[in-house]
Amino acid sequence: PQHYRNGVPLDMTYSTGGMPDPDTANRDLVIGGRFTKDQDWYKGKVWRLRVWGRALTAEDWMSIYELERHWF
């Protein structure tokens, strides 16, 4: 999947193995930082986080933008 910052595609590096099974995982899910919490670089808050179980189309993103742009 492609990730964006301010509408610009980001270069991404992915790990192998995928997401751990939440029922058997033995570590926390970390969003906005590294796997080791003492190396977190992101010190702000993640606002209105969403996770989808599929890749979103350009039309999906436009619909979300139109519905939520008043927040920005």
Stated as kind and residue range, the H or E segment containing 8 is strand 8-9
Q: Give, for all 72 residues of the chain, the pLDDT tens digit.
A: 677 777 888 776 666 666 667 778 777 766 666 556 565 556 667 777 888 888 899 999 999 999 988 877
* Rounded CA separation 44/70 (Å): 21
* Rounded CA separation 67/40 (Å): 32
pLDDT at 27: 73
pTM attached to this predicted model: 0.42
End-to-end CA distance of the chain: 25
What DSSP string runs through 14-65? Answer: --SS-SPPTTT--S---SSS-SSGGG----S---S----SSPPPHHHHHHHH
pLDDT at 47: 75
